[in-house]
Structure 1
Amino acid sequence: MNRNDRSIVGFVMVGHAMVHLYELSIPILMTIWLLEFSVTAALLGTAVAVGYGLFGVGALPGGLLVDRYGSRWLIAVCLGGMGLSFLALRFAEGIVGVTVAISLWGLSASVYHPAGLTLISNGVEARGRGFAYHGMAGNVGIAGGPLLTAILLLFFEWRLVTVLLAVPALLAAVVGLTAEFDPTAAIEGETVETGPTSIPEFFTDTRRIFTLGFLFVFAIVSLNGLYYRGMLTFLPDLLGEFLLSTVGEVRPGIFDPDSPLAETFDAAQYLYAGLLTVGIGGQYLGGRLTDWVEPDRGIIGMLCCLTAIAIGFVPAVRSGLWGLLAVSALLGFTLFAMQPLTQATIAKYSLPDSRGLSFGYTYLAIFGIGALGAAIVGTVRTYGSTSAVFLALAGFSTAAALLAVILVTRYEPNS
């Protein structure tokens, strides 16, 4: 990596980590808000869902803004907005205040993925390595957000915790505005125009983006989003059942069996956090693979691995604790190794001057359409068996793999 690459990658790594740190800190804070504001789980869940919904829906207009105004300013606005949203939580006096603050977070965070991924695609010459480090930073936020928030809550009142969490993002926004880098260094010589400035131009750009090749990419990332959200939403609960069936109730010997710490200890949550942490290595491998193989070919192999893991998960659990640990680690590694390959494929099948809008559409698919994965898997879990849950997940990845084969064998980028 050259100096420009390192400057860009450092900037987006901080942004990516912050987005997911805040995303995963909110559920921890919810346990406090349920008591603080005396609201039902349904009401609080609905309030928080507004912010999470905006996180996905806002990706498309975020992509438009990226093409129009550039990534640097949008990422800085994202970081500043997220920091301000957590400062606003400090002053929330009820469910309305929480809803407003979390909605501000969702709107702010929604522009990050189109902006950050466009900046890597257009500015980083070592693109594969850039995607790898970017993804690893996201996993640090995913795994570290709940842990950091829980630790801070051990020592400080929750309102002070939200202020402490806000500080890094606000500082990063200021530093990002002063950092020196060329956001188009990787596409020198290519014509890059600003994004659409009117509704007709937006539809024109959309028609230009949605070539047959990109349409297949859109369908592939939608199915992968269904697998991702469906798997991770119910996995903590499933891991709890699997641990209970393999080793019984787990209580660490360092706690007094009658202590509150022993009562609140949940081994499944720690296994889940470990799975997310293993994903850091997967992100690195996936990013490096984009330097060694064509990313659209790479996702075929990765999707086949995800199918095999889903089909083999329950049989592996039946083999005992070591089988559960092994298949969980393999899932975490492969699930996140898929992400850099997906991002590089989106870049491959999009035009430089419309990358923001392209990533906006695809992340609307991943977070928007993908959110249905939780509903689908939840329905299967309610009315079917555990094996049926994993077979449904395998169906998502299998369909995506078949579409990826068609993409590779029939279509060229932008055709």
Structure 2
Amino acid sequence: MDGNDRRIVGLAGTAHALVHTYELSVPILVGIWLTQFATTAAELGIVVAVGMALFGIGALPGGVLADRYGSKKLIALCLVGMGGSFLVLSVAPGAAADSIGSLPAISTSPAVIAIAVALVLWGAAASVYHPAGLALISKGVSERGRGFALHGMAGNIGIAAGPLATTIMLAFVPWETVAAVLAVPAFVAAAATLFVDVDESSQDEAGSDEDDTPDSIAEFLDVSAMVVKSAFAFVFVVVMMNGLYYRGVLTFLPELLAGLETFQPIEIAGEPQEPANYVYSGLLAVGIAGQYVGGRLTDYLSPGKGIAYAFGALAVLAVVFLPLASMGAAPLLLVSAVLGFALFIVQPIYQAAVAEYTPEAARGLSYGYTYLGNFGVGALGAGLAGAILTYSNQTVLFLTFALLAGVASAVGVLLIRR
């Protein structure tokens, strides 16, 4: 990698880590909200799903803006917006709680509504990152596969660090204070981003003079049709299945792990803490290796083979996770580590598939559609998981995950045969 490659990967990797730090701190807070506001998993699943839906829905206009105005400015705005939304999260619930008075703690209370608003603000701000960051790597980094791998690893550092930092801070301070502290790194990174000098299109084969980004709704539809008529339509199904699986598993996994007999609450600084949260953080940390391996595999496997194999493994893991987790601490830790590895190995694979199957001039828009499916449609996974846990059981939940992964694997087989 040359200097420009390193600067791009460093900029994008830092922002990627922060996006997922915030995203994966939410499931840790969900357990507190369930107790503090006496709500149900189904109701909080809807609250989380609304915020995470914006995370995906906003990716589509974010992709258009990335193609037209460049990625660096959007990434800086994304960081400022995420930091601001967590500041809102830190103050709104406290202020709302004072106004509740004698009202029962139900899902329509001001406190829960305030949390929903803060998550919506976060989702809208964070939504522009993936199309902007991935377009930046795909058009500016010479070693694209390696760039995707390092970018994914940075994301997983945030994915693991967010829950871990949140869990540790919760041992000493209220969750509102934790949210305020988490906001600070985003503002620092946003300021640093503005001073990083990068060539965003050093690997753009289309040339800097070509501009196929849409100026009107008609042109937007034309460019979208160009994207959809490619094999990207198959990839879009894959990312939707991945999003439903990813969001459904991660939103309630801390609570599911805490419910196992293997774990008993422990006291830290006089406050009860869930060991399951540390296992959850460890599971996500293993994903760092999965991201790297997935990125390197894109240099050796066709996208179809990578998708078929990786999602096939996720389907099997969904079937065996609960039986193995109930057998004791050692099997639980092992299957959790494998799940963390497999859950994130798929991300660089489908990211590379998008780059393979879409026109370069519409790359930002293509990644916008990708994360519309992954995080927009995928946000429904939180609501789906909450509903199944409320009205059915964990076995049905994991069999549903197996079905989603099986569909994605089957699409990979279709891509192999094309």
TM-score bracket, shorter-length normalisation = 0.7 to 0.9
Distance 1:105 1:52 in 2: 8
- 1:229 corresponds, among 241, 247, 263, to 247
Name the structure 1 match of 2:104. none
Residues 1:141 and 2:158 aligned together: yes
1:391 Cα deviation from its structure 2 partner? 2.4
Residue identity opposite 1:51 in structure 2: G
Shifted more, 144-153 versus 92-101: the winner is: 92-101
1:359 Cα deviation from its structure 2 partner? 1.0
Whether the 8 Å contact between 2:46 and 2:382 is mirrored in structure 1 is no
Shifted more, 45-54 versus 121-130: the winner is: 45-54
Whether the 8 Å contact between 2:230 and 2:357 is mirrored in structure 1 is no
Name the structure 2 match of 1:179. 196
Name the structure 2 match of 1:24. 24
Name the structure 1 match of 2:68. 68
- 2:334 corresponds, among 314, 321, 326, to 326
1:199 Cα deviation from its structure 2 partner? 0.7
Whether the 8 Å contact between 1:220 and 1:403 is mirrored in structure 2 is yes
1:379 Cα deviation from its structure 2 partner? 4.6
1:295-326 deviation per Cα after TM superposition (whole angstroms, max 9, x unaligned): 33212111121122122223433544322221
Distance 2:391 2:30 in 1: 28
Relative to the length of structure 1, the TM-score reads 0.85
Distance 1:73 1:184 in 2: 14
Residue identity opposite 2:367 in structure 1: F
Q: Secondary structure at the match of 2:379?
A: helix
Q: List runs of 5+ in structure 1 lacking aligned partners.
A: 411-415
**Cα separation, partners in 2 of 1:213 and 1:272, compared to 1, 3 Å:** same
Name the structure 2 match of 1:240. 258
Relative to the length of structure 2, the TM-score reads 0.85
Q: Secondary structure at the match of 1:181?
A: coil
**Cα separation, partners in 2 of 1:394 and 1:409, compared to 1, 3 Å:** same
Q: List runs of 5+ in structure 2 lacking aligned partners.
A: 97-110
Residues 1:277 and 2:285 aligned together: yes
Distance 1:387 1:101 in 2: 32
Q: Which has the higher contact order (CA 8 A, sep 6+)?
A: 2
**Cα separation, partners in 2 of 1:348 and 1:167, compared to 1, 3 Å:** same
1:133 Cα deviation from its structure 2 partner? 1.5
**Cα separation, partners in 2 of 1:385 and 1:51, compared to 1, 3 Å:** closer
Residue identity opposite 2:153 in structure 1: M
Residues 1:80 and 2:85 aligned together: no
Matched ranges for 1:228-307 at <5 A: 228-241=246-259, 243-244=260-261, 247=262, 250=264, 260-261=270-271, 264-307=272-315
Name the structure 2 match of 1:110. 127
Q: Secondary structure at the match of 2:194?
A: helix
Residue identity opposite 2:144 in structure 1: R
**Cα separation, partners in 2 of 1:153 and 1:269, compared to 1, 3 Å:** closer
Distance 2:234 2:128 in 1: 23
Distance 2:406 2:201 in 1: 36
Residue identity opposite 2:223 in structure 1: D
Whether the 8 Å contact between 1:377 and 1:392 is mirrored in structure 2 is no
Name the structure 1 match of 2:148. 131
**Cα separation, partners in 2 of 1:205 and 1:388, compared to 1, 3 Å:** same
1:50 Cα deviation from its structure 2 partner? 4.3
Distance 2:274 2:67 in 1: 45
Residue identity opposite 1:297 in structure 2: K
Distance 2:57 2:159 in 1: 20
Whether the 8 Å contact between 1:296 and 1:342 is mirrored in structure 2 is no
Name the structure 1 match of 2:217. 199
1:160 Cα deviation from its structure 2 partner? 5.5
1:344-377 deviation per Cα after TM superposition (whole angstroms, max 9, x unaligned): 1111111111111111111111112222333444
Name the structure 2 match of 1:343. 351
Name the structure 2 match of 1:413. none
1:228 Cα deviation from its structure 2 partner? 1.6
1:20-49 deviation per Cα after TM superposition (whole angstroms, max 9, x unaligned): 2222334556777899xx966478876665
Shifted more, 222-231 versus 90-99: the winner is: 90-99
Distance 1:161 1:98 in 2: 14
1:148-196 deviation per Cα after TM superposition (whole angstroms, max 9, x unaligned): 2344455556666544433321221222122111111222454741521
**Cα separation, partners in 2 of 1:156 and 1:230, compared to 1, 3 Å:** closer
Name the structure 1 match of 2:107. none
Distance 2:87 2:395 in 1: 44
Distance 1:172 1:409 in 2: 44
1:5 Cα deviation from its structure 2 partner? 0.9
Name the structure 2 match of 1:316. 324
Shifted more, 162-171 versus 216-225: the winner is: 162-171
Identity in percent: 51
Residue identity opposite 1:250 in structure 2: Q
Residue identity opposite 2:347 in structure 1: Q
Distance 2:31 2:313 in 1: 36
Distance 2:55 2:200 in 1: 24
Whether the 8 Å contact between 2:53 and 2:378 is mirrored in structure 1 is no
Distance 2:382 2:49 in 1: 13
- 2:401 corresponds, among 387, 390, 393, to 393
Residue identity opposite 1:206 in structure 2: S
Whether the 8 Å contact between 1:290 and 1:344 is mirrored in structure 2 is yes
Name the structure 2 match of 1:216. 234
Shifted more, 229-238 versus 186-195: the winner is: 186-195
